[in-house]
Amino acid sequence: MKLPMKYLFFFLLIIFSSVVSAQSKEESAYKQYRFKISTPPYGLAKVKSLVEKIPNDSESIKLGVKTYQSLSLREKFTYTMIHAEDYAQNCDIIEPMPQEHTKIFAYLDEPFPEYTWSERQRLFLNSNRDSVMSLIKESVTRSKRMGLNYKVALYTINAKEMIPFIISNFQNDRKDMGLLTLLFLIMKDNEYQPFLASESYRKLYGDTASHRTYIQYNKANEDLIISRAMNFYHKNK
């Protein structure tokens, strides 16, 4: 039986805390950094108020059609970035992995525990991809952070136009390995042959790879990823 949202939150918090306690302070800090989501400011108070009124005891926690359609584009963006509508059970506990801050994973994690964006939310993102890219760029430029939800949104809409911006944000402090993961995913889904033929692709997405597969971060790998991504960008712009 599915737990109500409030109990589910505490259950996940207990699991997360037990995982975090097994890691070093640096590793714990990075895990929290990696899972942080960005909160857009556009109509935030109104959207939060509407979300709080949605019953949370069902598998689909959606705003009613009429209310959803009454939201402006920016409000729909905020709604999607802070609230996932569809239940997606995940029984797997994420095992701690030493030195996560030195690893570039093959895939991005889910930004919403036990929930995922619904079909209408993904349709919204893809139908308004230019506006979504613009709002994410505006928000990230202001906050200096690209949260996990923003990265997954850019992956969802195949935002290859944003490659220079993604790289620029990574180079600000070289802390967010998820930005390099996003570059991997964009090159993979667009079947960029120099990447598909590389040893990195074989390690990350080959026959023996898994969702937790990674390559080690070092300057040589950073330079190679950025060089490939920029070559892909120039070829497709």
Distance between CA atoms of residues 8 and 60, nearest Å: 15
- pLDDT of 57 above 80: no
Question: Given pLDDT bands bounded at 50, 70 and 90, which one contains residue 1?
Answer: very low
3-state helix vs strand vs coil in the chain, percent to 5: 60, 5, 35
- pLDDT tens by residue, 156-197: 999 999 999 999 999 999 999 999 999 999 999 999 999 999
For the chain, give the percent of residues with pLDDT over 90: 72
In this prediction the pTM is 0.86
Q: How long a stretch of residues is the chain?
A: 237
Distance between CA atoms of residues 66 and 81, nearest Å: 20
- pLDDT tens by residue, 107-126: 999 999 889 999 999 999 99
Distance between CA atoms of residues 14 and 149, nearest Å: 22
Q: Is 144 left (phi over 0), alpha (psi -120 to 50) or beta?
A: left
- pLDDT tens by residue, 116-155: 999 999 999 999 999 999 999 999 999 999 999 999 999 9
Please, what is the Cα angle at 104 between 232 and 26, to 5 degrees? 145
